[in-house]
Amino acid sequence: MVGASAESRDSKLIAALTAAQLYYMQDKTMEVIAKELGTSRSSVSRLLSFARESGLVDIRINSPLERLGMLEHRIRDRHRVAAHVVPMPEILSEVERLERVALTAGRLLSQFVDSNMVIGVAWGSTISAVSRGLTQKETHNTTFVQLNGAGNTQTTGVEYSSDILQRFGSAFGAQVQQFPVPAFFDDPATREAMWRERSTRRVLDLQAKMDVAVFSLGSPAAEVPSRVYVGGYLGRDDYRSLREDHAIGDVATVFFRSDGSWRDIRVNARATGPGLDRLRRVPRRVCVVSGIPKLVSLRAALAAGLITDVVLDEGLARRLVED
């Protein structure tokens, strides 16, 4: 009887934790939560009350017993990063997974961003979703700087990247610094010359002072396509070159292999994102990623030491800790 009672309390703790994370971190209604948990709205209300009364909910959600906490601990122990696992049922589409992970990341960033900081932001589908889920936090003398150019032969990319930066700036009352260069130059020599220009050096110098970098991982296999692969940034010759160089993903349009190597990938000589050695020197590097197709890219990025904090969905987290 004692064992049955303990098991019942553990089940209640897990249900209350899941309900609290969906309600407080992802803005889901009680009707939606009830449907996901297979229970009634009144039961969800009681679970949320229990979560508050039992201490599961404070400034952030805590639990003495949770499957997600176990996943986070395993990821931390294996990969030496702080993991933030977002709960969700397997039936969700990749678009829904991305939106939930991005919303949670938007809430968590208020813990990482403070006054007198420089924060680098990479544009892309995931980070665009993150920017729409940010919570307001007033800061002073804080600057958000664009990590990589967004232009290509079809568009300057300024409007797209600017919208993302402006949402970050507005959420934290901060200044923003765009990087008005193409995502990839046609010739490596052009990039080298541009990098000597004072206007470009000013942005690069600001990037060198980053306290936090916020980015996702590009992958040609993702169901929600990474913008760099579908936005007209790469041509047929580029794709052939990346295949020949065994590139499997990118961070801020800098490509890497499954072993984390990147320097001799030819496309990188024309890329405008920060070199991965530069990125590794940023004190806090927050990666937001969702979907099983990103697993190979995530493992490579972790092996390369590019990440200090990762926000990811439950399904991807489980695959990450599997051998």
pLDDT digits (tens, 9 = 90+) for 218-259: 876 555 556 666 566 788 898 899 999 999 999 999 999 999
**Lowest-confidence pick of 18-32, 110-124, 287-301:** 18-32
Contact 75, 321 (CB under 8 A): yes
Q: What is the DSSP letter of 123?
A: -
Q: What is the pTM of this model?
A: 0.77
What's the CA angle centered on 288, arms 287 and 290, to 5 degrees?
Answer: 130
The pLDDT tens digits of the residues spanning 65-108 come to 457 788 999 999 999 999 999 988 878 888 899 999 999 999 99
CA dihedral (123, 126, 132, 134) positive or negative:
negative
Kindly tell me if the per-residue pLDDT of 156 is higher than 80.
no
What does the pLDDT average to over 178-205? 92
Q: What is the mean pLDDT of the chain?
A: 87
- Which residue has tokens 């970050």? 168
Kindly tell me if the per-residue pLDDT of 6 is higher than 70.
no
3-state secondary structure of 291: coil
Q: What is the pLDDT of residue 123?
A: 86
Q: What is the pLDDT of residue 153?
A: 52
Q: Which residues contact 40 (CB under 8 A, 6 or more apart)?
A: 34
3-state secondary structure of 311: strand
136/53: higher pLDDT:
136
Q: Which residues contact 35 (CB under 8 A, 6 or more apart)?
A: none
Q: Which residues contact 303 (CB under 8 A, 6 or more apart)?
A: 259, 260
CB atoms within 10 A of CB 91: 7
Kindly tell me if the per-residue pLDDT of 204 is higher than 50.
yes
- Residue 11: exposed, middle, or buried by beta-carbon count in 10 A (0-12, 13-18, 19+)? exposed
Q: What is the pLDDT of residue 282?
A: 97
Confidence label for 1 from pLDDT (cuts 50, 70 and 90) = very low
Express the helix, strand and coil content of the chain in percent, nearest 5 each: 50, 15, 35
Q: How far apart are CA 1 and CA 6, in angstroms?
A: 9
What does the pLDDT average to over 7-26? 82
Q: Which residues contact 315 (CB under 8 A, 6 or more apart)?
A: 88, 90, 97, 292
Q: How far apart are CA 236 and CA 240, in angstroms?
A: 6
Nearest to 186 by CA among 269, 275, 273, 274: 269
What does the pLDDT average to over 130-145? 94
Q: Which residues contact 5 (CB under 8 A, 6 or more apart)?
A: none
What does the pLDDT average to over 47-62? 71
Buried b (16+ CB within 10 A) or exposed e, 127-157: bbbbbebbeebebeebbbbbbbbbbbeeeeb
Q: What is the pLDDT of residue 229?
A: 62
The pLDDT tens digits of the residues spanning 278-317 come to 999 999 999 999 999 899 999 999 999 999 999 999 999 9
Share of the chain above pLDDT 90, in %: 60
Q: Which residues contact 246 (CB under 8 A, 6 or more apart)?
A: 257, 258
- Which residue has tokens 């065994």? 246
Take residue 176 and report the two structure tokens written for it: 């923003």
Kindly tell me if the per-residue pLDDT of 2 is higher than 50.
no
Confidence label for 10 from pLDDT (cuts 50, 70 and 90) = confident
Q: What is the pLDDT of residue 243?
A: 92
Take residue 13 and report the two structure tokens written for it: 């703790």
Q: What is the pLDDT of residue 7?
A: 66
Kindly tell me if the per-residue pLDDT of 55 is higher than 80.
no
Amino acid at site 298: L
Kindly tell me if the per-residue pLDDT of 138 is higher than 70.
yes
Take residue 153 and report the two structure tokens written for it: 């032969």
Q: What is the pLDDT of residue 59?
A: 42
The pLDDT tens digits of the residues spanning 26-36 come to 888 888 888 88
Take residue 89 and report the two structure tokens written for it: 């049922």
